[in-house]
Structure 1
Amino acid sequence: MPIYLDCNATTPLEPEVRDILLHYLTEEYGNEGSRTHELGARAKQAVQRARDQVASVVGAQRDEVVFTSGATESNNLALLGLRRTGEDSGRRHILTTSIEHKAVLEPCEIFADSGFEVERLPVGESGWIDPDTVARALRPDTLLVSVMQVNNETGVRQPLEEIATVLGDHPAYLHTDAAQGFGKDLAPLRNPRIDLISVSGHKLYAPKGVGALIARRRGYDRPPLQPLMHGGGQERGLRPGTLPVALIAALGKAAELAERDAAKRSEICRQFRGKALSALSGLEIKLTGDQSRVINHVLNFSVTGLDSEALMVALKDLVAVSNGSACTSSSYTPSHVLAAMGMDGQRAHGCVRLSWCHMTPEIDWEAVVERIRSLV
């Protein structure tokens, strides 16, 4: 098998997380809502423990954690859950960026279709939004500002803390899609001005199909979210349905390990990135985005005159890489992220993304470089 370098699409299961998952699938498999027996009580305890573990990563409280099926659902709940508040208050202005994941951009289109004014703020070649751009766009009727923590294609960190400062006492809610940065870049998400944080399990060495929305209180007031689905009182009435205890317990363990080992994992990824850059330097690669802001486990680049599809085919027996978001991989049109950065179509078609983690084995970079060089 080729060595997996597509961790931004999904990560491998951490062994300790897998053990927790299997335990609650096969041994303590009770329904968290069952109050009449021990298995139900144990399931409830597991869920509450997971709330604490997820909340701890961002300095939140357990009752501010809502479990979901993943970051896409969390994004939809965070954004569209505020629609009624916007309608009732007359605050119908939404700010987001041109490089957001489709799980944010498409709910924003629903806002626009409902009569809201949605502004997609531009980014430059650097790949990150200037906080001054947010400050200039902010209006008294702004309901929501949604800016991702780390871009999934380029790995560029967005200036969340600076944007939080810009918002200050403005009533607008600040949401971040933290699928790529939760548990990996800890400090920004601990800023209490960030109201809503979307989390994905399968980007954090937990299983697919589980995530969370962290909805921070302001003083005593929770974000006034309305449910998107109905049929039960689970998750404080925001997300009905029987809780998947095994998935939630696994996410909790993954969050605990991520917080505990963040520095060690980051250093492993930093060293891996250094080796990759050193090996690829002889190919005259063009790096994508402001490298001073790129997270340690991502490298997006192009090679002049080389198409990304040809490159991926040539490397498929050595390494598994991608040329964009897995959620839009069926499309051969240039990435909206790269287009928003002002990249021309030819270069955008040549960009590939390498993403790894602390469990990625060593790569034969010499073989990778030789394979690429044979195509140029």
Structure 2
Amino acid sequence: MSVYLDYNASTPIDERVLDLMVEVYKNSMGNADSRTHNFGENARSIVEYARKQVARLLQVKPDEIFFTSGATESINIAIQGLKEYAEKSNRKHIITTAIEHKAVLETVKHLESEGFEIDIVFPDLTGRVSKEKILEKVKDNTLLVSVMHVNNETGIIQPVKEIGEKLQERGILFHIDATQSCGKLVEEIRSIKYDMLSFSAHKLMGPQGVGVLVLRKKSYKLPPVKAILYGGQQERGIRPGTIPVALVAGCGKACEIAEFEYQRNIKHSQDLKNELLMVLDESGIQYHFNGEQSYCVPSTLNICIDGVSSEALMISTKQFCGVSNGSACTSKSYSPSYVLVAMGIATEQIESSIRISWGPDTDKEEVLHNFKALLEIAKQIKS
């Protein structure tokens, strides 16, 4: 039986989360914004409890949490929602990186067509962007810096803590895409100075279709973000539309579980990674990492298996492992990974690279057995 090793694309839902969602679907039919009956009040209490669960994980205030349909929408609100403020303040310069999720890159590209100035910083072979290169781009009219915490393809942790501290000193808005780190690098996220943060629940064993935008207050004021959609005053006017109560409850439960179990989960992921590396070394196969592993999260490996086509390998090993060779948002494209290209990796190496990612419920023995089978097939493809 094939083992799922593409957690960076989407995680399985935790059974405890699913059980809660089923209960909500069955027993809480109200609209959280209905104020004339108990059904609405019950739905609203579920949403507000979930808001507190997310806030506790991140150690922020509940009124700084806004529910969305996912990280892509959160990112669009965070960036596009600053347009009015940018026009009024004449600050239309944005800095980001070449390895961001397409939700960031396509959004800033759109703003560039509307007269914004965009600076994009490239990483080096370590997979990290330089904090110095980010900060040297800052100008008097800089509106926003947006940097992901952990890259979804390489698992490399970016220097967002150091960047955030410097940007706060200069009063520049800072957005973090925490989709791959929320619920994992819990203590680090809590220590970062940021104005906006986004993530999706389905990357931490929660349901697909719900995410969070965090807007941190300064002097009791939220960042100057406006709604980019219209149709209601839900989520305090930031995100209109009926709140999906069961999805929000699932998001909150996933955050609660992560809060109490993240340390155990980190150890499990690191132990499994160590075992996978031992299997790789013992196989005798020639490989190298994409990205410096001292900066990598313990739940991801991006490796180049020399002389082996990643497409051929994935097709030939579907019965053993479900792995990928890039971001799920570009999986229908057979062009080389834009993240690895931005790092300066040669095309032939990119075409031999795969991403392996796992989670707290991944069975170590099953993975090791199937991964060994994958490596044996890789040897056959190469020969």
Mark yes or no: TM-score above 0.5. Answer: yes
The answer (yes or no) to whether the contact 1:95–1:120 under 8 Å persists in 2 is yes
Instruction: Report whether the alignment pairs 1:314 with 2:320.
Output: no
Offset at residue 187 of structure 1 (A): 2.4
Q: 2:49 matched to 1:43?
A: no
More deviation in 233-242 or 358-367? 358-367
Counterpart mapping for 1:323-334 below 5 A: 323-334=325-336
SS in 1 for 2:376: helix
Q: TM-score, normalised by structure 1?
A: 0.98
Q: Taking every aligned residue pair, what percent have the same amino acid on both sides?
A: 42
Task: Give the distance between the partners of 2:15 and 2:168, measured in 1 at CA.
Answer: 41
Cα distance in 1 between the residues matched to 2:304 and 2:127:
15
- Paired residue for 2:373? 367
Paired letter, 1:371: I
**1:227 partner amino acid:** A
Whole-angstrom distance in 1 between the partners of 2:74 and 2:8: 18
The residue that corresponds to 1:24 in the other structure is 24
**3-state SS in 2 of match to 1:230:** coil
Task: Indicate whether 1:295 and 2:297 are aligned.
Answer: yes
Equivalent position SS for 1:375: helix
3-state DSSP of counterpart to 2:197: strand
Alpha-carbon offset, residue 339 of structure 1? 0.6
Q: The residue matched to 1:43 in structure 2 has which SS? A: helix
- Kindly tell me the number of residue pairs found equivalent between the two proteins: 376
Cα-to-partner distance string for 1:42-74 (whole Å, 9 max, x where unaligned): 111110011111111221111101100000000
What corresponds to 2:338 in structure 1?
336
SS of 2:32's partner is coil
Pairwise CA distance, 1:193: 2.2
Return the alpha-carbon distance in structure 2 between the equivalents of residues 141 and 110 of structure 1.
19
Match of 1:348 in 2: 350
Find the counterpart in structure 2 of residue 200 from structure 1: 200
- In structure 1, what residue type is equivalent to 2:90? G
Matching of residues 1-376 of structure 1 within 5 Å: 1-191=1-191, 193-281=193-281, 282-361=284-363, 362-363=366-367, 364=369, 365-376=371-382
- Residue 168 of structure 1 deviates from its aligned partner by 3.0
Gapped runs of 5+ residues in structure 2? none
**What secondary structure is seen at the aligned counterpart in 2 of 1:183?**
coil
Query: Equivalents in 1 of 2:215, 2:168: separation in Å?
Result: 18
CA distance in structure 2 between the aligned counterparts of 1:304 and 1:218, rounded to whole angstroms: 50
Q: Tell me the distance in 1 between the aligned counterparts of 2:59 and 2:293.
A: 28
* Distance across 1 between alignment mates of 2:352 and 2:332: 17
The separation in 2 between residues aligned to 1:323 and 1:218, in whole angstroms, is 41
Tell me the TM-score normalized by structure 2.
0.96
Q: Is the 1:160–1:188 Cα contact (8 Å) retained in structure 2?
A: no
RMSD: 1.0
SS, match of residue 57 in structure 1: helix
Contact 1:226 1:238 in 2 (8 A): yes
SS in 2 for 1:374: helix
Cα pair 1:286 1:302 within 8 Å, conserved: yes
Instruction: Report the CA distance between 1:36 and its aligned residue.
Output: 2.4
2:161–2:192 contact (8 Å) kept in structure 1:
no
Given residue 193 of structure 2, which amino acid in structure 1 is its aligned partner? R
> AA paired with 2:110?
I
Aligned-residue offset at 1:192 = 5.7
| Contact 2:153 2:302 (8 Å CA) reproduced | yes
CA contact (8 A) 1:17 1:250 kept: yes
* Segment drifting more, 31-40 vs 304-313: 31-40
SS of the residue corresponding to residue 144 of structure 2 reads strand
- Which moved further from structure 2: 96-105 or 39-48? 39-48
**Structure 1: 5+ residue stretches without partners:** none
User: Is the Cα contact below 8 Å between 1:7 and 1:203 reproduced in 2?
Assistant: yes
